[in-house]
Structure 1
Amino acid sequence: MRALIKNNFSNSFLTIGSKQDPILSDDQLLIKVEAFSLNRADYLYLNMPEIDWTVGIDFVGTVIKSNSIIEDIPIGSRVMAHSPIGGGGAELASVNVNNVIKLPSNIDISTAAALPLSGLMALRMLREAKIKSGQNILITGATGGVGAITAELAIQAGVNVTVLTRDISTATYLRELGADIVSSLDNLSKQFDVVFESVGGEIIAKAIKNLKRNGLILWFGQASGQPAQLDFFSLFGGHESMTLKHFVYNDLPDIDDKADLSELLKLVSDDKLHLDIEVNNWSETGKILQKIKEGQFRRKAVFMVE
C-alpha cells in the first residue's frame, strides 16, 4: 500500500512511499482511508528514532475487512476512527474496534477526520476540572485544536473564558463566542478557578499568580518545547494548596472512546462545536508538518488520501 514515510533527506519530512499492508488482529478493523488529520503528537513521534511512526491518529474511511463479526459496524460502513498508535496517513489502516464509530451522513469527512483527538482531550479535561457555570478559567495556547474546542464548550457551559495567544488576530472567532483574549499574563488582574496549560516554560509560574486559592492547573502539553519553570517557595502567600495535575487524555479511569466520540459528533450535528479546518492533498503533509513545528499553522490540517 502507499503510505507516508519519514524522509530524513527532505525538508518536507514526509514523502509518499510503500509500506506493508496492516495485519489484523481479531479486535481490529481494516479501513480504506479517505482523509486524516495531523496532530502535534505526530511531529513528536516522528522525532523519536525508536518508533516507526505513521502519521494520522484521527482518520475517516470505509471498513473493508474484519476478522470477527462486529454487528454495529458491518463491512462497508463509513467510520470515524481514533488510533492512538497512528496509521491513518496511508491507503489502509488498522484500528481497534473500540476506537471506531459509524459516521452519520450529515457530518462532513473533513470535520470527522479533524475531530477525535482534540475533541476527546477537550471533553475529558472539562470533566476532570469539574467546571461550573460562573467560574473563571484560563486556556493557554488556545488557538490550537484542543484549546479552541475547550474554550467553545466551556463558554456554552456558562464559564467565563480567558484565552492566551501570541497573536490576538488568530483568536477573533473565540472573541465572537464570548472569550476574553490576552497576549500576555503580565499585569493581568483576573483570578482563575482553573488553568488549562499547554505552552510550558515560564507560563505555569505566571499563571499561578492569577490562580485562586485551592485552584487547579491541568497541564496537558508543552508546545514551546521548554520545560515548566516553577519555584517551590513562590507558592507561599496564597497558592500553597493549589493543585497541578499532569493530564493525559487516555490515562483516565473508565474511559469509553465510543461514547465520547458519539457525544462529540452530536455536538457537531447540533451546531454546538465548530472546527477551523484547512484541507489539502496528502502529498502536502510534510510541508504542513513543518509549519506546525515552527508554530506557523493554527488551523486543523486535514489531508485527502487520493
Structure 2
Amino acid sequence: MKAILCPQYGPPEVLRMMEVVKPTPKNKEVLIKVKATTANGADARIRGAVFPSIFNFPVRLAMGFKGPRKQILGVELAGVVEATGKQVTRFNPGDEIFASTGASFGAYAEYICLPENAVMTRKPATMSFEEAAAVPHCALAALYYLRKAKVTSGQKVLIYSASGGIGTFAVQLAKIMGAQVIGVCSTSNLALVKSLGAEQVIDYTKEQLAQTGETYDVIFDTVGKAPIKECVQALNEKGLYLSAVHLELARIMEGIRATLKSSKKVIGGVANYTTENLNDLKRLIEAGQLKTVIDRSYPLEEIVAAHTYVDTGHKKGHVIILVD
C-alpha cells in the first residue's frame, strides 16, 4: 500500500511517499481503508520537531532523536472498515467511521489498523469523508477545553485564532453552549468567523485586546500565542484563560504566576480525547449545529504542498488530504 513516511525531522520536503506492507488486523483490531485525513498543525509540529525548548530532550527521547519512530504521521481520519479481528464486536466490514489516532499516528496511509476501543465511532451520515476527517482532533480539543471551563449560557467567551482548526470548532461549540462569542482573527477571516456564530470579531491586525476595554469570563487561546498577561488582565474575576498549546517554559511560568496572584486561572495541559465526546460531536453534526470549515484539499501524493501551506500559518479551518 502507499503511505507517507517521515524518516527525519525537517521541512515538508522530508515527507516521502513509499510502498509499505498493508497491515493485518489482530484479534481486537479493525482494518480501515482511509478515505481522508488532514494536514494538521500537530503533524506539522512533529514533522518539523517544533518541541518546547525546555522539553526538547524528553520529547525526542519519547518520539525519536533524529526522526519520529512512528514514521507514518496523521492524527485523524475518516474511512471504511474493510476487515475486523476475530474478537471485534463494535464494528463490521463496510462501516463508515471517523477516528483519532492520537500519539499512534498512522493516518497518512491507504490502510491503518486501530484497536476497536480507539477513539472511533461511525461517521456522521450528514458529512462527507473529507468533512468528517477534520473532526476527531481539533473538534475534540475544542470540546474538551470548553467543557473544562464549564462554559454556560450568558458567559462572554473570547476565542483567539478563531479562524484556525480548533478555533472554527470552538466558536460553534461555545455558541451551542449559549455563550456570547467574540472571535479574534485577521482581516481576511472576519466574515468567516462571524458566519460561524461569533457576535463580535476583533481584527488583531488593527486592534489589540487591551484597547477594546472589554472583559470576558473565558478566553480560549487555541494556538498558544496570545499575550498571557494581556489576556489575564482582560478576564473578569474568577475568569479562565484556556491554552490549547503550551510550547515554551516562559509562557507556562507566566500562566502559573497569573494564577497564583489572582482569582483568575490559567488552564492548559493535554486534551483528553474520548469516544463518548466524539459521539457527542457526531450528534451535534447530524443535528445541523456543527460543521467543518475546509480551506484546501490535496491528494495524498501532494502531501509536501499541503504541509508547506500549513506551515505558512494562514490556513482557514482545515487542510484535507484525500487518500482514496
Local SS of the residue matching 2:106: coil
Residue 181 of structure 1 is matched in structure 2 by 201
Residue 97 of structure 2 is matched in structure 1 by 79
Local SS of the residue matching 1:187: helix
Measure, in 1, the Cα distance between the counterparts of 2:224 and 2:76. 25
CA contact 1:38–1:55 (8 Å) conserved in 2: no
Cα displacement string for residues 211-255 of structure 1 (whole angstroms, at most 9, x for unaligned residues): 1112111211158x795286589859x9612111213212xxxx6
Which runs of structure 2 are paired with 1:1-306 in the superposition (5 Å)?
A: 1-6=1-6, 12-22=13-23, 24-48=25-49, 49-51=66-68, 52-84=70-102, 85-98=104-117, 99-165=119-185, 167-176=186-195, 177-182=197-202, 183=204, 184-200=208-224, 203-222=227-246, 227-228=250-251, 235=258, 240-250=262-272, 257-277=274-294, 278-306=296-324
By how many angstroms is 1:92 displaced? 1.0
Change (3 A) 1:140 1:105: closer
CA contact 1:136–1:192 (8 Å) conserved in 2: yes
By how many angstroms is 1:287 displaced? 1.1
| Structure ranking higher in helix proportion | 2
Residue identity opposite 1:78 in structure 2:
E
The count of residues paired between Structure 1 and Structure 2 equals: 298
By how many angstroms is 1:104 displaced? 4.4
Cα displacement string for residues 95-115 of structure 1 (whole angstroms, at most 9, x for unaligned residues): 121222122443211111111
Cα displacement string for residues 155-186 of structure 1 (whole angstroms, at most 9, x for unaligned residues): 23221112222x13213122232332111313
Cα displacement string for residues 126-147 of structure 1 (whole angstroms, at most 9, x for unaligned residues): 2111111111111111111111
Residue identity opposite 2:143 in structure 1:
L
Measure, in 2, the Cα distance between the counterparts of 1:79 and 1:36. 12
CA contact 1:201–1:228 (8 Å) conserved in 2: no
CA contact 2:256–2:266 (8 Å) conserved in 1: no
Measure, in 2, the Cα distance between the counterparts of 1:232 and 1:217. 9
Measure, in 1, the Cα distance between the counterparts of 2:250 and 2:304. 26
% identity of equivalent residues: 23
- Provide the alpha-carbon RMSD of the alignment: 2.7
CA contact 1:201–1:227 (8 Å) conserved in 2: no
Local SS of the residue matching 1:186: helix
Change (3 A) 1:119 1:200: closer
> How does the TM-score come out when normalised to structure 1?
0.87
Local SS of the residue matching 1:248: coil
CA contact 1:77–1:102 (8 Å) conserved in 2: yes
Residue identity opposite 1:87 in structure 2:
G
CA contact 1:28–1:94 (8 Å) conserved in 2: yes
CA contact 1:35–1:59 (8 Å) conserved in 2: yes
Unaligned 5+ segments in structure 1 are none
> How does the TM-score come out when normalised to structure 2?
0.82
Measure, in 1, the Cα distance between the counterparts of 2:134 and 2:93. 23
Change (3 A) 1:213 1:267: same
Change (3 A) 1:140 1:23: same
